[in-house]
Amino acid sequence: MATHNLTRVVTGLAKKNLPACLLKRTSINSFVVTKRHATHFKFYPDPPPIDCGPTEKMNLFQSLTSAMDISLSSDPTTLVFGEDVAFGGVFRCTVDLKEKYGQDRVFNTPLCEQGIAGFAIGAAVAGSTVVAEMQFADYIFPAFDQIVNEAAKYRYRSGGLFECGKLTIRSPCGVVGHGGLYHSQTPEAHFAHAAGLKIVIPRSPIQAKGLLLACVRDDNPCLFFEPKILYRAAEEDVPVGDYTLPLGKAEVVRLGHDVTMIGYGTQVHVLKEVAEMAHDELGISCEVIDLVTITPWDEEAVCKSAAKTGRVIVSHESSLTGGFAAEIASTIQKECFLNLEAPVERVCGYDTPFPHILEPYFIPDKWRCFEAVKNVTNY
Amino acid sequence: MSVGRFINCAAIKAAYVSSFRQTFHGAAISAVRYKSTTPQSEDPLGMKIIGGPRSFINKLEFLEPKLEDAIPIYRVYDTEGKILDGTQDPKLSEDVLHQMYHSMIMLNTMDEVMYSAQRQGRISFYMTNYGEEASHIGSAAALDNRDLVFGQYREAGVLVWRGFTLDEFMDQCYANVNDPAAGKQMPVHYGSRDLNFVTISSPLATQMPQASGAAYALKRTHPGLCVICYFGEGAASEGDAHAAFNFAATLDAPCLFFCRNNGYAISTPAHEQYRGDGIAARGSGYGMITIRIDGNDVLAVYNATKKARQIAIEESRPVLIEAMTYRVGHHSTSDDSTAYRAKKEIEEWTSGDNPINRFKFYLINERQCWDEERDKALAAECKKQVLKAFTASEKRKKPSPSLLFTDVYDDLPPNLVKQRQEMVDHLGKYSKHYPLDDHEPV
């Protein structure tokens, strides 16, 4: 639940217990405490999947560590590497893995994303299962050539003689509240255009562990973007054992019959909250779909829902123009044209780079999505 | 400052010619592996900053790269095939020597026929290997056939050595049904799983960090093997080259980096490609063992590659080999190199430093295992075989259009099933506008 800026004046001794970043001096003895915006979403945990055995409370980064731990223990060829992964990673996703599996399997690479990607592709081609990390999705672009021109095309251009299906590249993505231009991006649209890749974005710890294991075991090069704002904020009862979730399958996370809302990653939680608001304040029943896999995406599930409701909203943090919502909207209008009661609405970041202090105005927050629900039902 | 690549610059060429040094085995390796033996307590800050002990000077002195300090070029026989230092002759068996020479002639003959085929409009594109035959054959012969090869695009001789057939070469160039990649790539983008030669891709230097990673993986799963990565001096300018060297060195990958410095990257001469002492001078900057060799000397290439392979595997580290050679042919069939270099220069190299002739003279004069009569017969036999394969390849059908959609993923996702059907439906309606008769059925 988002809260507004809170300010209160504190004096003298009281200020000693507050972190310096929250204090602003207004006079010799007075300070104003400004609390930054809290998150723009409310996390909706899922119950654990049935038949997956015992569970443990894990947040997103812990569930990812668990997935990598299982891959390292079940597959002796698995390698986990990237910048700073050895000490546990800047987001704690690889904690204790080096200690458990050794430096030859869990290791730091030099600071070079094109090298990480190229090295990872080569290792996968040579038969190792590879989980390579790009420290922030914003920094994946030096690796763009290797990923798009090499990884995506390896199997196609060799007729299957060589392929890098054992490659998974994972990277923190998404709005985090203060990331600005270079710690907030989700580059799914740039890569969606490269046939041959699979792109997956989980919404929660349970989803992330199962999907990461699925990517690791999938015989195609996969990009796995992890919404960093969920690393600590999202906590669920996650199965401790080995399980996978299907790639290429969207999930209806809330059933409804008036409006279809499609999103992925953190935005699924925003949409879930909007669905509650629509129900409570407008009496509108919204169906919320988590796309899960960006490419290849589940056209069938999405079009089935769009045909049912006739009113669709697609929403993602990434910018509007050329964003993945355009792809979904285009397909929906072609496949479900006669079922539509209103044009497909897209609620996305604006066509600007990610701003820092102006982030609350940039992101497709619940109010913009709520307004889209009104638009799509009042057409 | 650059290494001997100026066009018609006699002085520099003389320097190039005179700076050979014959070294082999232990003597060649003067660079010490940069791992400090200084206990942490003696220079803790140095250990943290540069990973080794530090020394200090009180004079303000800059390091200046000098032409006279250029890394010398290792060669075994001269331009007439005459052995310079007997200890360096690996004394290979006649069988091996003949196989090497045969491969060079076969490669050369195939290049001539396929180049002409492109000029006649029979294939769309071709790249010759003229002038680099010794680099290919010498290095390939020094490897284990299970060592994984990552090439750039001008290493067909490696495939010839390993047994890629003329049919396989031509089926790829003709993009016909026998190409395992279903004609998906331009000509000369060969690949062979059986021969451990990774399929060529057009972007330059992308194979280099891949080679580093493959070597790292193979070190763990197939100890005793190495990876060799071929690239040109132009490709060495790419960021991927830097990444490859740094990763292989820091992660102890048994990878041989074989640079074919042939003087040109399309029209760009080497002295416009770099300002330092070629590619070899970069090696020590990465902590890599390095050698510069005469790429037109089969035995120099052989010796260096063999030793490099041993080092890479036994010590689990990359080795950089810079083979100095000359691109006699045009960059490709899309290039006319007389637009940027004098014909005279090409003639000087072809007559003065010809890898095939130098090896032939070695065989005839040093080893007495060859003669001109056999040479003529070999040339005729190669031409005959090449033409036979060429004729057969040209007649074969092109792959089915349905194969357009295969191998994007390991299986066909729903969107491609749908798109394939759309294409099939379209061809059903507009078949007469497409050359379907040339292809296997849809």
Per residue in B333-378, pLDDT (tens digit) is 999 999 999 999 999 999 999 999 999 999 999 999 999 999 999 9
Nearest CA in chain B to A128: B217
SS3 per residue for chain A: CCCCCCEEEEEHHHHHHCCHHHEEECCCCEEEEECCCCCCCCCCCCCCCCCCCCEEEEEHHHHHHHHHHHHHHHCCCCEEEECCCCCCCCCCCCCCHHHHHCCCCEEECCCCHHHHHHHHHHHHHCCCCEEEECCCHHHCHHHHHHHHHHHHHHHHHHCCCCCCCCEEEEEEECCCCCCHHHCCCCCHHHHHCCCCCEEECCCCHHHHHHHHHHHHHCCCCEEEEEECCHHHHCEEEEECCCCCCCCCCCEEEECCCCEEEEECCCHHHHHHHHHHHHHHHHCCCEEEEECCEEECCCHHHHHHHHHHHCCEEEEEEEECCCCHHHHHHHHHHHHCHHHCCCCCEEEEECCCCCCCCCHHHHCCCHHHHHHHHHHHHCC
Q: What is the pTM of this model?
A: 0.91
| Inside any domain, residue A313 | yes
Element containing residue B256 per DSSP (H, E): strand B255-261
| Inside any domain, residue A356 | yes
Question: Between B148, B201, B413, which is nearest A248 by CB?
Answer: B413
B412-429 in b/e form (b: 16+ CB < 10 A) is bbebbeeebeeeeeeeee
Same domain, A233 and A87: yes
**Please, are residues A299 and B417 in contact by the beta-carbon 8 Å criterion?**
no
Residues of B in contact with A109 (CB under 8 A): 247, 250-251
Give the integer Cα–Cα distance in Å for B5 and B350: 15
The tokens for B329 are 């042919």
Q: Does A103 touch chain B (CB under 8 A)?
A: no
Kindly state the percentage of chain B with pLDDT values over 90.
Answer: 87
| Inside any domain, residue A322 | yes
Same domain, A226 and A281: no
pLDDT digits (tens, 9 = 90+) for B245-302: 999 999 999 999 999 999 999 999 999 999 999 999 999 999 999 999 999 999 999 9
Residues of B in contact with A250 (CB under 8 A): none
| Inside any domain, residue A152 | yes
* Cross-strand bridge partners of residue B268: B265
Same domain, A229 and A264: no
Give the integer Cα–Cα distance in Å for B438 and B427: 14
The number of domains in chain A is 3
Give the integer Cα–Cα distance in Å for B279 and B258: 10
Domain boundary among A239, A260, A282: A239
Query: 42-81 in A: which are within 8 Å (CB) of B?
Result: 77, 79
Among all chains, which residue has been given the structure tokens 């001789």?
B157
Q: Does B151 touch chain A (CB under 8 A)?
A: no
Nearest CA in chain A to B150: A122
| Beta-carbon separation of B410 and A165 below 8 A | yes
Q: Which has the higher per-residue pLDDT, A31 or B50?
A: B50
Among all chains, which residue has been given the structure tokens 């960093």?
A228
Strand order in the sheet with A30-34: A7-11, A30-34, A23-25
| Sign of the Cα pseudo-torsion (B90, B92, B96, B100, in order) | positive
Domain boundary among A208, A239, A270: A239
Q: Phi first, then psi: what are they for A191, rounded to 5°?
A: -90, -20
Nearest CA in chain B to A80: B217
Strands B289-294 and B319-324: parallel
| Interface probe, candidates A158, A169, A298, chain B, greatest B C-beta count within 10 A | A158
Task: Specify the pLDDT at position B41.
Answer: 63
**Please, are residues B241 and B231 in contact by the beta-carbon 8 Å criterion?**
yes
Q: Looking at the annotation, which residues of A are catalytic?
A: 113, 183
Give the integer Cα–Cα distance in Å for B188 and B243: 26
Give the integer Cα–Cα distance in Å for B442 and A322: 34
| Interface probe, candidates B204, B228, B409, chain A, greatest A C-beta count within 10 A | B409
Residue B48's pLDDT band (cuts 50, 70, 90)? confident
Task: Specify the pLDDT at position A25.
Answer: 57
Number of residues written out for chain B: 442
| Interface probe, candidates B210, B418, B419, chain A, greatest A C-beta count within 10 A | B210
Query: 374-413 in B: which are within 8 Å (CB) of A?
Result: 406-410, 413
Kindly report the nearest CA distance between residue A112 and chain B, in angstroms: 7
Rg (CA), chain B: 24
Which domain CATH number covers A371?
A: 3.40.50.920
| Inside any domain, residue A1 | no
Give the integer Cα–Cα distance in Å for A267 and A273: 10
Query: 229-258 in A: which are within 8 Å (CB) of B?
Result: 248
Q: What is the largest CA-CA distance in chain B?
A: 83
Question: Between B191, B242, B251, which is nearest A161 by CB?
Answer: B191
**Residue B31 Cα distances to A171, B286, B287, B312, angstroms:** 38, 12, 9, 14
Same domain, A82 and A195: yes
**Please, are residues A307 and A292 in contact by the beta-carbon 8 Å criterion?**
no
pLDDT digits (tens, 9 = 90+) for A93-120: 999 999 999 999 999 999 999 999 999 9
Among all chains, which residue has been given the structure tokens 């992308």?
B206
**Residue B389 Cα distances to B109, B206, B381, angstroms:** 12, 32, 12
Kindly report the nearest CA distance between residue A160 and chain B, in angstroms: 6
Nearest CA in chain B to A297: B415
> Over 70: is that where the pLDDT of B75 sits?
yes
Is the preceding omega at residue A355 within 30 degrees of 0, hence cis?
no
Same domain, A264 and A367: yes
* Cross-strand bridge partners of residue B197: B149, B192
User: Which amino acid belongs to residue B42?
Assistant: E
Among all chains, which residue has been given the structure tokens 């992964």?
A85
Same domain, A86 and A208: yes
Which are the contacts of A274, defined by CB distance < 8 A and separation ≥ 6? Answer: A261, A286, A366, A369, A370, A373
Same domain, A195 and A289: no
Of A27-31, A38-42, B19-23, B316-320, highest mean pLDDT: B316-320
Domain boundary among A239, A262, A284: A239
User: Three-state DSSP class for B62?
Assistant: coil
Give the integer Cα–Cα distance in Å for A64 and A69: 8
Residue B42's pLDDT band (cuts 50, 70, 90)? confident
Which domain CATH number covers A84?
A: 3.40.50.970
Give the integer Cα–Cα distance in Å for B289 and B275: 21
Q: Phi first, then psi: what are they for B261, rounded to 5°?
A: -90, 95
**Please, are residues A206 and A172 in contact by the beta-carbon 8 Å criterion?**
no
Task: Specify the pLDDT at position B33.
Answer: 39
Kindly report the nearest CA distance between residue B288 and chain A, in angstroms: 16
Which are the contacts of B133, defined by CB distance < 8 A and separation ≥ 6? Answer: B103, B104, B107, B108, B157, B355, B356
Q: Region of B401 please: left (phi>0), alpha (psi -120 to 50) or beta.
A: alpha
Residue A284, CB half-sphere, CA atoms under 13 Å: how many?
26
Same domain, A123 and A234: yes
Class of residue A153 by CB neighbours under 10 A (exposed 0-12, middle 13-18, buried 19+): buried
Question: Between A115, A162, A248, which is nearest B193 by CB?
Answer: A162
Give the integer Cα–Cα distance in Å for A365 and A277: 13
| Sign of the Cα pseudo-torsion (B261, B265, B270, B276, in order) | negative
- Distance spanning both ends of chain A, measured CA to CA: 30
| Inside any domain, residue A50 | no
| Beta-carbon separation of A118 and B240 below 8 A | yes
Same domain, A75 and A219: yes
Same domain, A256 and A197: no
Domain range holding A141? 55-239
Residues of B in contact with A159 (CB under 8 A): 179-182, 184, 407
* Cross-strand bridge partners of residue A348: A316
| Inside any domain, residue A82 | yes
* Cross-strand bridge partners of residue A173: A227
Give the integer Cα–Cα distance in Å for A336 and A356: 38
| Inside any domain, residue A43 | no
The tokens for B380 are 């005729």
Same domain, A64 and A110: yes
Structure letter (DSSP) for residue B33: P
Question: Between B206, B243, B410, which is nearest A150 by CB?
Answer: B206
Same domain, A101 and A212: yes
Q: Does A331 touch chain B (CB under 8 A)?
A: no
**Please, are residues A5 and A35 in contact by the beta-carbon 8 Å criterion?**
yes
Residues of A in contact with B251 (CB under 8 A): 107, 109, 119
Question: Between B180, B193, B214, which is nearest A123 by CB?
Answer: B214
What rounded mean pLDDT belongs to chain B?
A: 91
Provide the residue-wise pLDDT of chain A in tens; the chain has 379 residues: 443 433 444 444 444 554 555 555 556 655 555 555 679 999 999 999 999 999 999 999 999 999 999 999 999 999 999 999 999 999 999 999 999 999 999 999 999 999 999 999 999 999 999 999 999 999 999 999 999 999 999 999 999 999 999 999 999 999 999 999 999 999 999 999 999 999 999 999 999 999 999 999 999 999 999 999 999 999 999 999 999 999 999 999 999 999 999 999 999 999 999 999 999 999 999 999 999 999 999 999 999 999 999 999 999 999 999 999 999 999 999 999 999 999 999 999 999 999 999 999 999 999 999 999 999 999 9
